[in-house]
Structure 1
Amino acid sequence: MIYPIVAFGNPILKKEAEEIHEGENINELIQDMFNTMDNASGVGLAAPQINKGIRLFVIDSTLMLDEKDEEKGIRRVFINPIILDEYGDNYSFEEGCLSIPDIRAEIIRPEKLTLEYFDENWNLKEEEFSGMTARVIQHEYDHLEGILFIDYLKGLKKRMVQSKLVDISKGKVPTDYRMVYPLK
């Protein structure tokens, strides 16, 4: 199943997601999330973006890398993740979001993180991620905390996107994937 993506303005995007009880069967949902992300040509998708307030996201950072990159991307699911530490140099990169189409902005994030999470088989993992994979994880993790990448914008940059955000919430933005708009 391919879910519609929830657009900016839906309250679920600003709420902290709830932990999933260990052992819950979410295999079908995980597959649906990968299908939804792939259909929208995304590199990550958090459950709140499909109107599910649970601590789950999927990523495919292989799409952000090419052959000359030393880093290898991953395609993976993260259940009940907890960022244990973020470190390394801060660097800026232009981010976008399936829930906020047509807006991109330079966001500064640390280059590395250590994450604790469950995989799809409920195996507890602790792992270090860096580069683009770390960035995608940080972006999707923010969704679970009710934080959007535009929340990092300040001053003039934030004011410059306000009218676009209103248009997005009203459905006045073209996308190649299905969306649900809170003000339409």
Structure 2
Amino acid sequence: MAVLPIRIMGDPVLHSPAEPVAEITDEIRTLVADMFETMDAAPGVGLAAPQVGVGLRIYTYSYQDDEGAPWRGVIINPDLWMRPTVPGAPDPDEESEGCLSFPGERFPLRRSDEVIVTGTDLDGAPVHIQVDGWRARIMQHEFDHLDGILYIDRLDDADWKTVQKIARKRGWGRGGVAWTPGIDDLEA
């Protein structure tokens, strides 16, 4: 297993729809193991294959609730259904999120509070997940990556302008920029 470099906003792989996984091979299994290691090292609660430069419809997730119960897995070729989002402005204290591909920053974003995700696991077995709250947020965030959407693409105009200033200051917003957890001094 290896910790992989995480692409930063502006890299073309992050802004393009990912391709379906045709077959679960040893190469895919190695990629998923590396994604878990990278996600844990970052640390993050989710990681999509495009974030490590691979344009495939795969993401990993890991979250521990207040009771300490672990929730961890991988979804290959997911489909996502969600309840409509409640209208209104997001609560900056309760609805802010960050991203390993725009590290070190958090912005408020309204998401659906309940989702259903289906797909397959690493063994090709069907996956059906119905979650709410932060777990639903994680599923939506990672699914967006597979469609070439970063959460910063969904922000309101004022926050979007702030994102652009940060990106210019840090030299982001172009291809080839990445950071490696445990080596570079960036965290989401």
Q: TM-score, with normalisation over the residues of structure 2?
A: 0.83
136-145 or 118-127: which moved more? 118-127
Q: 1:119 aligns with which of 118, 121, 126?
A: 121
Note closer, same or farther for the CA distance 1:53–1:178 as it changes in structure 2 (3 Å cut).
Answer: farther
In the alignment, the residues of structure 2 paired with residue 30 and residue 172 of structure 1 have an alpha-carbon distance, to the nearest angstrom, of: 22
Q: Percent identity, please.
A: 36
1:86 matched to 2:87: no
Residue number in structure 2 paired with 1:47: 49
Structure 1 residues 1-184: aligned runs within 5 Å: 1-25=2-26, 26-62=28-64, 65-67=65-67, 73-83=70-80, 85-87=81-83, 90=86, 92=91, 93-166=95-168, 167-169=170-172, 177-178=182-183
Query: RMSD across aligned C-alpha pairs, in angstroms?
Result: 2.5
Aligned residues: 173
Contact 1:101 1:175 in 2 (8 A): no
**Partner SS state of residue 52, structure 1:** coil
Contact 2:96 2:107 in 1 (8 A): yes
Going by fraction, where is strand more abundant, 1 or 2?
Answer: 1
Unaligned runs of 5+ in 1: 180-184
AA matched with 1:21: A
AA matched with 1:148: L
Q: TM-score, with normalisation over the residues of structure 1?
A: 0.84
